[in-house]
């Protein structure tokens, strides 16, 4: 357990260094609000999600919802940050857990559609990864999902699903590695802004046309270079405004084969990330 207070600057900074429960739906591809690429940039400090009206509403109502949960169940809970004892990259900011650590609750103050799902006894799909992550992190075999609409609450008990958790852990582990390696996840359609205005369309057409011309010229250049080498008679040649010569250069160093570097953490010598644009 941790004494970190949720919502503080220290807590926000700490979240960048771990995979939390709220990251699970994004990594599992069921979050309607954020893509894996956006989360990846967020963890690297390259992107920050703005707080929207729904998020502010949920935060303002959470304490009232927690008291309603306590009245409904008799369990007294407090928000706490917990860390996995099995995976050093895993944590969870729990909306509520008992002092004994045997009962946890995930509180949502959603819109009418999601609240209706809870009333019917079903947790919305986008929140299930979050709850399974919490159970994986705490080791508990069940938890409570509590939906509160400002007036009434709907309680759903959620059982631990070890098969699902296995898939979740695998995907979260890969995502964590992508952060360490600074290898971005594949972009989704949501990661792009659609433009169809005249300026963009004309510029894009000109770019594509030029790229085709360049590829054709590069192919032609390669063939002519091969022809020059073929007719050189394996000699250095000067003539017609060009020089053709055979050059030797050192081979690349295979750092993985240097014994002295086997136990050296080369990542500590890596420079910071560099952003660049790719056109495809």
| pLDDT digit string (tens) for the chain, length 280 residues | 455 555 566 666 777 789 999 999 999 999 999 999 999 999 998 877 666 666 676 677 899 999 999 999 999 999 999 999 999 999 999 999 999 999 999 999 999 999 999 999 999 999 999 999 999 999 999 999 999 999 999 999 999 999 999 999 999 999 999 999 889 999 999 999 999 999 999 999 999 999 999 999 999 999 999 999 999 999 999 999 999 999 999 999 888 889 888 888 877 787 877 777 888 8
**Structure confidence by residue, pLDDT tens digits, 25-74:** 999 999 999 999 999 999 998 877 666 666 676 677 899 999 999 999 99
Please report the pLDDT score of residue 155 as a whole number: 97
Contacts of 146 (CB under 8 A, 6+ apart): 65, 68, 69, 72, 105, 106, 107, 108, 118, 153, 154, 155, 156
pLDDT of residue 65: 94
**Are the beta carbons of 20 and 91 closer than 8 angstroms?**
yes
The topology (CATH level 3) of 9-190 is Lambda Exonuclease; Chain A (3.90.320)
Q: What is the percentage of the chain residues whose pLDDT exceeds 90? A: 76
pLDDT at 7: 59
pLDDT at res. 263: 83
Q: Which residues pair with 80 in a beta bridge?
A: 94
DSSP β-ladder status, 242-244 and 91-97: unpaired
**The pLDDT value given to residue 5:** 58
Q: Residue 53: what pLDDT?
A: 67
pLDDT at 1: 45
What ranges do the domains of the chain cover? 9-190, 195-234
> Residue 143 pairs with which residues in a beta bridge?
158
Distance from C-alpha of 99 to C-alpha of 77, rounded to nearest angstrom: 7
DSSP-H helix ranges across 8-52: 9-15, 24-27, 36-43
d(CA 5, CA 19): 17
> pTM to 2 decimals?
0.78
């Amino acid at each position: 357990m941790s004494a970190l207070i949720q919502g503080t600057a220290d807590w926000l900074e700490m979240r960048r260094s771990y995979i939390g429960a709220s990251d699970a739906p994004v990594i599992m591809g069921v979050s309607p609000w954020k893509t894996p690429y956006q989360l990846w940039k967020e963890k690297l400090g390259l992107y920050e999600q703005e707080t929207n009206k729904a998020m502010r509403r949920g935060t303002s109502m959470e304490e009232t919802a927690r008291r309603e949960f306590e009245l409904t169940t008799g369990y007294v809970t407090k928000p706490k940050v917990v860390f996995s004892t099995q995976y050093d990259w895993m944590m969870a900011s729990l909306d509520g857990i008992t002092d004994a650590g045997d009962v946890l609750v995930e509180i949502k103050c959603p819109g009418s559609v999601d609240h209706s799902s809870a009333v019917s006894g079903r947790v919305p799909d986008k929140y299930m990864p979050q709850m399974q992550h919490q159970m994986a992190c705490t080791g508990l075999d069940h938890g409570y999902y509590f939906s509160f609409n400002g007036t009434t609450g709907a309680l759903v008990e959620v059982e631990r699903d070890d098969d699902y958790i296995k898939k979740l852990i695998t995907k979260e582990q890969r995502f964590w590695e992508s952060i360490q390696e600074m290898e971005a996840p594949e972009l989704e359609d949501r990661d792009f802004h659609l433009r169809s205005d005249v300026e963009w369309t004309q510029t894009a057409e000109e770019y594509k046309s030029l790229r085709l011309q360049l590829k054709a010229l590069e192919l032609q250049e390669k063939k002519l270079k091969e022809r020059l080498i073929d007719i050189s008679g394996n000699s250095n040649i000067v003539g017609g405004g060009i020089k053709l010569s055979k050059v030797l250069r050192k081979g690349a160093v295979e750092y993985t084969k240097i014994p002295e570097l086997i136990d050296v953490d080369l990542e500590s010598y890596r420079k910071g990330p560099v952003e660049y644009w790719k056109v495809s």
